[in-house]
Amino acid sequence: MLEIQGLNVFYGDIQAVWDVSLHVDEGSIVALVGANGAGKSTLLRAISGITSAKEGEILFSGKSLKKLPPQDIVKMGISHVPEGRRLFSNLTVYENLKLGAYIPRSRRSVTQSIERAYDLFPVLKNRMNQKAGALSGGEQQMLAIARAMMSRPMILMLDEPSLGLSPMLVKTMFELIMNLNRQKVTILLVEQNIHQALKIADQAYVLENGKIAMTGKGKELLSDPEVQKAYIGTRWSKS
């Protein structure tokens, strides 16, 4: 469904992504893991058109995304939930959800999409008239994902969805991601909770300094001694 070939991305004169190639199969969960500054978020920003790639190719269902603006990439079926949620804090939950359905395909079924969001996140229905800025961190993350789902994407890109959440909410968040995937949403996941990300990923890529250092099935990398030593720690080695 999504294929990246030899991608190079710069911020000014500084190169952040080096010759990255990867693919995301339809219906899968693909994890991008690694340390802070490894280029994971930059890669998502390049796919969604927020950051321009200097070299390489990004193909979605065989069509190039490289020269498209972000709004056209959303129309093609890719939604991006950025790190930090980026909600409209002075608007209500309901208003944030409606803004997620701005493309023509979504506007035709906005009522059904909002009901689907409330089914996925019952707490949002109880907070529908509350301003997004007054929600808890976990509720804000749920709203950010629900808003992205309003465009009915084929691929949902999640950047650090568990960041700042309590351990109980982290577990809930990963259960939600698996539930979305069971509903035929393809997931591209950037996550620093590497143990949980690899546990649910069909395929995973380890990024180091903007380059792909390792790739494999999620559970294979989870049990890899080098990955455990560098990113997970011995306490997870028998999980």
| pLDDT value for 235 | 40
Q: What is the pLDDT of residues 136-184, one digit of tens each?
A: 988 999 999 999 999 889 999 999 998 888 888 898 899 999 999 998 9
Instruction: For residues 237 and 223, give the distance between their C-alpha atoms in angstroms, rounded to a whole number.
Output: 7
| pLDDT value for 217 | 95
Instruction: For residues 100 and 97, give the distance between their C-alpha atoms in angstroms, rounded to a whole number.
Output: 5
Contacts (Cβ under 8 Å, ≥6 apart) of 112:
none
Q: Domains of the chain (ranges plus CATH)?
A: 1-77+155-161+186-239 (3.40.50.300)
Instruction: For residues 19 and 5, give the distance between their C-alpha atoms in angstroms, rounded to a whole number.
Output: 8
Contacts of the segment 93-96: beta carbons below 8 A, 24+ positions apart: 93/124, 93/127, 93/128, 93/129, 93/130, 93/132, 93/135, 93/143, 94/128, 94/129, 96/132, 96/143, 96/147
Q: How confident is the model at residue 233 (pLDDT cuts 50, 70, 90)?
A: low
**Is residue 238's pLDDT more than 90?**
no
Instruction: For residues 46 and 68, give the distance between their C-alpha atoms in angstroms, rounded to a whole number.
Output: 11
Q: What is the pLDDT of residues 58-111, one digit of tens each?
A: 999 999 998 899 999 999 999 999 887 789 999 999 999 999 888 877 777 888
| pLDDT value for 127 | 93
Determine which helix (DSSP H) or strand (DSSP E) holds 188, and give its type and residue range: strand 186-190
pTM comes to 0.89
**Is residue 208's pLDDT more than 50?**
yes
Q: How confident is the model at residue 232 (pLDDT cuts 50, 70, 90)?
A: low
